[in-house]
Structure 1
Amino acid sequence: MFQGNQALPPLCCRLRGRAVSSLRINMYGAQHPFPSPSALANYHPVIVEGMGGYDLRAPSAVAEAVLGRLARHWQQWPIDKPPMVVIQGDPPAPRGISAITPFVAEGLRASRALVCLDEHTADYHARDADRDNVGLEFRYSQLTGVVDHHHVDGMQRLAQAVDWQIATKNARRQSQGKPPLKSYFRDFALLQEVTKAACRALCGGVTIAHTAEDIHEFSVTSFYTVGLELGLVDPAEIVAFR
């Protein structure tokens, strides 16, 4: 089992917002100015999911609760690699998930890895992302290659499942007199589920911690059931808030 006072292995690349000029060809065939996703394999990925800036709770208090749940979870399901908190491009904010994950990383004495949508999908996403304590950075398209490498028709099945959930949610919203979900929900739901599936495939496991007991049915977080239904995430890898 990994002990918290063990030294972390050196990170293969520290971006910290600095431009990297040379393109690298990773093991999944795509060209990116970022390290290969295989760099994650030295770590146990920890992904924290929850509300954005509309979460009015004190971030440090939420993080403390998450850390307690993680400690108890790892007593039952020990990890054998140092943890790394994987974040998904949220910009800095005083509340919500963007403010909570730095406290979680600090409590775990861990660095963070950043996954953003590709610029051709959302040019603002990587630009505005929080890079504090980020040691590894990737793009969504790199991780889709991982999913397809490890799972037959993995991306096709993921996309179909997300589309089905969006259609189901929109039907429910229509019955409630609400407008359809914004189009960007698809991009961020896929980013969320691809990140988890790829991390699990690369690292041999993943821990997914929720920051709230009740997950709103129309939130991006609610798409966490997609990975579960497709068998890309194990239910034992999800740490509930309560």
Structure 2
Amino acid sequence: MEEVRVVVAHQERATLRVGEVFLKVDADQARTDVEVAAMALAPVPTPEILWCTPPVLALAALPGTALGRLGEPSPSSPAAWAAAGAAVRALHDAPLPPWPGRSLDEKAASLDRECAWILANDVLPAELVTRNRAVADAALRAWTPVFMHGDLQVAHVFVDGDRVTGVLDWSEAGQGDGLYDLASLTLGHREHLDDVMAGYGRDVDVDVVRAWWSLRSLTAIRWLVEHGFDPSAPGCEIDVLRSQA
């Protein structure tokens, strides 16, 4: 009998590992539909879909290890980070998926709403929120949409040595700003931004990447708190905001 291990679990979804199979249980079938469709379209390695019986999606384990973890030094080489940048570039150069992502107006409204919640609940000092809100404004500009992963956390990219073996968790994929993906990948790992940009091979507005670091961190805090995660853990979202300010 294989051991069942809980990888992540909260009110919206849970992921279990049984041997070399991951079972994703999602209360929102639309997210699973997006994930399946995005993996079929993406020009980068993704997990093999073993079966899908709503609300469960079964995926084969990817070879290798995660590029890193938020709040921990990355064990991966600069070449592995560059390979991740090249994979992101391949995704962004691919044809757009047929469904939209979140609009600029939705992003701006979310930022306003979450900053107001942080201040109303005394989660962070007002000066820290104000400074990061000002930094985040640089992200709120018109962009040319690309095929965006949408939740490209460093733990979602797997590598074996200097080779990318797969990218996980495509439920937020859609049309969007490619710099958001680069910011998500390097959140809390700014020391690897140059490596990622070298692999990406295209001019990148670093100020916009930094703006997305602030925006992503500000808009994530309430969700993390309400779902049992700690954004104040060393190296995580609140530390990112402090480093930005």
Shared fold, TM over 0.5: no
TM-score, length-normalised on structure 2? 0.29
